[in-house]
Amino acid sequence: MSSPVRIQPDPSFVRELQAAGGESVKKCYQCATCSVACPLSPAENPYPRKEMVWAQWGLKDKLMNDIDVWLCHNCGTCSDLCPRGAKPADTLAAIRNMTYRKLVGPAKIGEWMSSSKGLPYLAGIPAVLWLFIWLLTTGLSIPAGEIKFSKVFPGDFTIDPLFGAVAVFVAWSFYKGVTNMWKSFASLPTTFEVGAHCEKPTLVQAIIDVLRDDLYTHRQFNECGADNTERSKGHWALLAAFVALAIVTSVVAVSHWGSKVPGFHWLHALGDTPMVLYSPVKLLAIVGTVLGFYGLTMLTRRRLNLDAQKQGSSFYDWYLLGVIWAVFVTGLGSMVLRLAGVAGLAYPMYYLHLVAVFMMIAYLPWSKLGHLVYRTTALVYARMSGRKPLTRVEDKIFEI
């Protein structure tokens, strides 16, 4: 039968995993209820049962190279049915958290992101940075006259270069992370097919399929066993909000920097800030904001109402929700205070907004928001390798 395999347990990894949200992992007694309960789990080497035993032994390499933790969409059906309260859903979430932490360096950011102890550093960096800029521009004073945030934080010389550098750093980290992931997935055994040969999609086709059939429809959320309406709607709305606000930011950036190119001066009309309220770009921003608040409310409410016996929330979950809340609240606050003409509050609010945005974007690959890239990568790989959920046999009655 099988040849003996020597394994190298890593107890310190188990402790880290338990701290990252998988504290109940040792309760698992390998009954495999979870693998059956999961509606997304495939027939061959289904998850999450095998991840539970790997996690109990601290088999770091297996877990870090595991595509399945990303195919899980964390509906919690496995935890609901788990007879030991071992919370497989939380364990998979913890493995994802460990991946955010370990997949790419610098290790320090991964460590800061892993618990509330890192919060002073995470918030401190942008807080000092933006305060320093404020000191340089107006000497920390509130400028007189019409409220224009560029008086304190001029785009061209502070915000844009800074966030530009951050974006390059984040993109480079993601590039390394995705390459690492892709290589590790390639080491997995390929899917053995029985029956009719099915055509495997190309990379481009797989990306299109994932965007169209998975991300746009939120299919996996709705196929998950438990009632996910609140989560599915909330997550969809928040994703849509991010897309809308990304478009707005892009338009502003392109019109601003594009208009400096000779012959493209007209571009500035598109995105000069502050915009009038009825400009299409501003309207899109407002729609994005509304969707964002709706999504945040749904997702936060769900998390607050979780049955602690079945599913918990880790620092990663609360950091992400907290930072997005901060971005939206301070963003809306800045606009409202600006329109209300309360300069003494508007500028500090905008300062907080910049801190929050920095906290969301600069640490993206090490935060839970990294799933935006990593999960998408895994979904694309799964499409290409043909790793699909077990299809249930349907009851067919033929009447003649």
Partner 1 sequence: MSGNAILVVGGGFSGITAALEAAEMGYEVILVEKNPYLGGRVAQLNQYFPKLCPPSCGLEIQFQRIRNNPNVKVLTMAQVTKVSGQAGNFDVTVSIKPRYVNEKCTCCNACTEAAETTVPCEFDFGMGMRKVAYRPNIFAFPQRYAFDKAKCSEAEAKKIEASCKYGAINLADQERTQTFKVGAVVQATGWKPYDVSKLENLGAGKLTNVITNMQMERLCAPNGPTGGLLLRPSDKTAPKRVAFVQCAGSRDENHLNFCSYICCMASLKQVTYVRERVPGAEVTVFYIDLRTPGRYQKFLEKVSADPKLSLVKGKVAELTQEGSGKVLATVENVETGIKNVEEFDLVVLATGMQPSVAGEAVAVNAPRDEEGFFIGSPDSGVIATGCAKVPLDVMRSAQSATGAALKAIQTVAGR
Residue that has been written with the tokens 């249930």 in this structure: 392
Map the footprint of partner 1 across residues 333-392, applying CB under 8 A: 390, 392
DSSP at 57: H
Binding status of residue 45 toward partner 1 by CB under 8 A: yes
Please give the size of the binding site for partner 1, defined by CB under 8 A. 26
CA distance 63 to 54: 7
Burial status of residue 320 (CB atoms within 10 A of its CB: 0-12, 13-18, 19 or more): middle
Report helix, strand or coil for 245: helix
Q: How many angstroms separate the CA atoms of 74 and 64, rounded?
A: 18
State the amino acid at position 286 in one-letter form.
Answer: I
* 32 closest CA partner among 22, 21, 43: 43
Rounded CA gap, 338 and 159, in Å? 19
* 7 near partner 1, judged by CB under 8 A: no
* CA 324 to chain centroid: 11
Please enumerate in sequence order all residues whose Cβ is within 8 A of that of 390, keeping only pairs 6 or more positions apart, or say none. 41, 42, 43, 46
Structure tokens at 137: 């521009």
Q: Which stretch binds partner 1 (CB under 8 A): 25-33, 208-216, 235-243, 281-289?
A: 25-33
321 and 300 Cβ atoms separated by less than 8 Å? yes
**Segment contacting partner 1 by CB under 8 A, of 45-53, 261-269, 356-364, 369-377:** 45-53
Interface with partner 1, residue 247, by CB under 8 A? no
Question: CB under 8 A: which stretch of 29-37, 174-182, 254-262, 313-321 binds partner 1?
Answer: 29-37
Nearer Cβ to partner 1 (78/122): 78
Residue 35 makes contact with partner 1 by CB under 8 A: yes
The answer to whether residues 214 and 220 touch, using CB atoms and an 8 Å cutoff, is yes
32: contact with partner 1 by CB under 8 A: yes
Whether the CB-CB separation of 22 and 94 falls below 8 Å is answered with: yes
Helical residues (DSSP H) of 305-370, grouped into ranges: 315-340, 343-361
Q: Do the beta carbons of residue 255 and residue 275 sit within 8 Å?
A: no
What residues from 76 to 105 belong to the interface with partner 1 (CB under 8 A)?
81, 83-85
Binding flag, residue 282, partner 1 (CB under 8 A): no
Q: In the bound complex, what is the minimum distance in angstroms from residue 290's beta carbon to partner 1?
A: 39
* Tokens standing for residue 268: 């500035």
Whether 56 and 64 have beta carbons less than 8 Å apart is answered as no
Angstrom distance (rounded) from CA 6 to CA 51:
18
Q: Which tokens is 171 given?
A: 């993109």
* 38 vs 248, beta carbon nearer partner 1: 38
Query: Would you count residue 307 as binding partner 1 (CB under 8 A)?
Result: no
Residues in 314-333 at the binding interface with partner 1, rule: CB under 8 A: none
Per CB under 8 A, the list member of 46, 76, 312, 331 interacting with partner 1 is 46
Judged by CB under 8 A, the residue of 44, 146, 156, 307 near partner 1 is 44
**24 contributes a contact to partner 1 by CB under 8 A:** no
Residues in 50-79 that interact with partner 1 by CB under 8 A: 50
Q: Tell which positions 185-224 bind partner 1, by CB under 8 A.
A: none
Q: Which residue, 397 or 400, has its beta carbon nearer to partner 1?
A: 397
Which residue type, as a one-letter code, is found at position 202? T
Contact 48, 34 (CB under 8 A): yes
**Residue 31 engages partner 1 in binding (rule: CB under 8 A):** yes
Of the pair 34, 323, the CB lying nearest partner 1 is at: 34
Q: Give 41 or 232: the residue with its C-beta nearer to partner 1.
A: 41
Tell me which of 14, 20, 25, 37 binds partner 1, using CB under 8 A: 37
Q: Considering only 27-35, 63-71, 231-239, 254-262, which stretch makes contact with partner 1 by CB under 8 A?
A: 27-35
Does position 226 interact with partner 1 (CB under 8 A)? The reply is: no
In this chain, which stretch among 39-47, 95-103, 204-212, 238-246 interacts with partner 1, using CB under 8 A?
39-47
- Find tokens 């799933």 and name the residue: 371
Whether the CB-CB separation of 218 and 375 falls below 8 Å is answered with no
Nearer to partner 1, 34 or 352 (CB): 34
Pick the piece of the chain touching partner 1 (CB under 8 A) from 34-42, 153-161, 162-170, 193-201.
34-42
32 vs 283 by CB, closer to partner 1: 32
Which residues contact partner 1 by CB under 8 A?
Answer: 29-37, 41-46, 49-50, 81, 83-85, 390, 392-393, 395, 397
